[in-house]
Amino acid sequence: MSVVQLGTPSRIVAEDELRPVLAKAGLELSGPLIDDYRTLVSSLDAAIASLPDDKSILPYPDLLKYPRTDIHVTVKCVKPAGGLLSGRTVALKDNMALAGVRCTNGTSMVDWTPNIDATVVTRVLDAGATIIGKAACENSCLEGMSATAVTGQVHNPFQKGYSAGGSSSGSGRLVATGSVDLAFGCDQGGSIRIPASSCGIVGLKPTWGLVPYTGILSLDATIDHVGPMAKNVRDCALFLEAIAGPDGWDDRQPPFGLDGERLKFVDPVDLILGKESANMLEGFRIGVLDEGFEVPGQDPNVVASVRSAINKFKALGAEVNPVSVPLHKEAPLLWTCALPLSGGRQSLLGDMDGRKQLYLTDRAELIGPKLSQAQFDALGPGASNMYIGYLWMQEKYGAKIQGKAMNLLKASSDAYDKALKEFDVLVMPTLPYPPPRLPEPESSEGPLNYLTRTTGLIANTCPFNNSGHPALSLPVGFVPAREDPTVKLPTAVQIVGRKYADVDCLKVAAAWEREFDWKAL
């Protein structure tokens, strides 16, 4: 690292300050070297002290233009105007910044009230929607089952005592029960699609970078996605059109691939819906992913329901054929190995180095270079497991394992791209089994038993966080709960498209939804 400036700092770091830092890293330096580095580190301190305040450039909301009222547990935020979402109500997942409203991220680990709005918050308000509150999310957004939110368990809208999915658990339930028209979900391993499937609604994980993640708490920038959850496909398209496109902050949003035509979703869906049934998907090639039906522990009722739904695409004019992507089976393992080092740092410690983006510095100030015992104790099973994995990987492996996993991910992403040259979309079950029963609210079971309930849950969802392809969950029927066959819970098909061809997922889903009533199947 070159030295930009080297004057005479007003304060020189003492030797007994620097030596413990070096010793912790296993370094021992001679007296002359120590003196040199005392001066160099002192210059770094001086540079840090001279940084101007960043608050002047933060995107503070105009509270006269975007007023908010009734800020208690819920909040009402409305910009009275017409627009794409005029008259619609929206819920924000509680890992999204809304100025003046506490953001829990599903945990009591940090008490943080942001003073900015996430980019997509401003966009839905500009589109005429009314934000009526925050939706519960799972602890640190690291659970696939709805039992760990700091505000309490979230029950499946079709059967109390069963999971609504996670981590966007509250969003799924609120849309399913009609409490809101639309809700935001954020998805790093399936957190939009898991609750969408569990609650019988439509959820889309957009193409990576299509929708800006600015002002939203990250898990890992390489897999962070924010997207729409809605009662039906057209509303999902409407919502996506209102929030997609570059914002000038999120460095994952390239200027190419995001032209005006690629940001239009409603008109193409309406065009499909205006066709006769047998011609709706004429010319569409749908690939049925073999490996998506070969997940260990997969429920046969889910397989039967999804295969039956896929066969119905033929009646809509689509060509439906099997396709194999063998690397699909390896993708969850790569996701598992790539996450702890970067996720522990970015998600739990708030360290977002290496990015050109909006940094949530006020929240980062509340967390040290490592978690305190109290902060660790406030984590749920998934988050505490990731933090322990982060510490272990950092100590035993360093950066090489994460790098190896990330390199290997390129091959699986390329394999999906190759399959999508032959097919317009790929289809498979969203989840391998129906929503599990929730543990007792005051259960003291350990993380191993808790996490065993959702083993393999993200086998078909996390591969597309790795690759960045758009993936939509569409409800297609009910299946018996594993714990009680008299209980019937939703299941769904996942529709995966080419990057930046989110509209193809929406078209295919809209056609099926118009012709078939999933609740009757």
Phi and psi dihedrals of 429, rounded to 5?
-65, 140
What are the DSSP E strand ranges found in 235-281? none
- What are 476's two structure tokens? 């297609």
What is the SS3 assignment for 269?
helix
What is the SS3 assignment for 454?
coil
457 to 198, 432, 433: CA distances (angstroms): 11, 6, 7
CB 197 within 8 A of CB 431: yes
Which residue of the set 93, 134, 205, 507 is catalytic? 93
Q: Which amino acid is at 411?
A: A
Residue with tokens 């490996």: 291
Alpha-carbon distance of 498 to 378, in angstroms, equals 39
CB 412 within 8 A of CB 463: yes
Is there a cis peptide before residue 167, judged by omega within 30 degrees of 0? yes
Catalytic, 30? Answer no
CB 236 within 8 A of CB 266: no
Q: DSSP assignment of 107-119, as one string? A: SSS-----SS--H
Taken in order 118, 122, 128, 132, the sign of the CA dihedral is positive
Length of the chain: 521
Which residue of the set 43, 167, 171, 305 is catalytic? 167
CB 265 within 8 A of CB 211: no
Q: Which amino acid is at 508?
A: V
Report DSSP state, residue 96.
Answer: B
Residue with tokens 């039992």: 147
Catalytic, 167? Answer yes
For the chain, percent helix, then strand, then coil, each to nearest 5?
40, 15, 45
Among 259, 185, 269, CA closest to 219: 185
Alpha-carbon distance of 116 to 353, in angstroms, equals 20
Q: DSSP assignment of 371-402, as one string? A: --HHHHHTS-HHHHHHHHHHHHHHHHTTHHHH
What are the DSSP E strand ranges found in 305-386? 319-323
Which residue of the set 191, 197, 218, 413 is catalytic? 191
Would you name the residues annotated as active-site residues? 93, 167, 191
